[in-house]
Amino acid sequence: MDFDQKIYEEKSELLKVLAHPVRLCIVRGLMEHENCNVTYMKDCLKTSQSAMSQHLAKLKAANIVKCVRSGNNIYYKLTDRRLEKLIKDLFEKN
C-alpha cells in the first residue's frame, strides 16, 4: 500500500468540504446547470444569501468552484470536473 500523507490529507479535505448537504447540493446543481448565480441557488435551496455565500466561499477555497463576473452578476461554475463521477456515483440508484 502506497501512503503519501500529503495526498491523503488533500483528498480528505476535499471530502470534508463536500460532506455538508448544502454544499453537496450546490456541486450537484452546478453539474446540471453549468453557470449559476447566488440568487438562483439560494432560491432553489431556500436558504439565506449569507449562508449561501459562506458555503460558496468554502467551495471556492477548496478549488471546487470558481466565480466569473458578468456585469453586476457573479456566476459560479465547477473547476474540478473529476468530482462529477464521484457525485454521479453517490446519487446513482441501485
Structural domains in the chain, sorted by start:
11-91 (1.10.10.10)
pLDDT value, residue 94: 60
Hey, how many other C-beta atoms are within 10 angstroms of the C-beta on 26? 25
C-alpha cell at 46: 431556500
Helices and strands (H, E) in the chain, number of each type: 5, 3
Per-residue pLDDT of the chain (94 residues; tens, 9 = 90+): 778 899 999 999 999 999 999 999 999 999 988 888 888 898 889 999 899 999 999 999 999 999 999 888 889 999 977 888 899 999 888 6
C-alpha cell at 92: 446513482
> Residue 11's closest CA among 59, 79, 62?
62
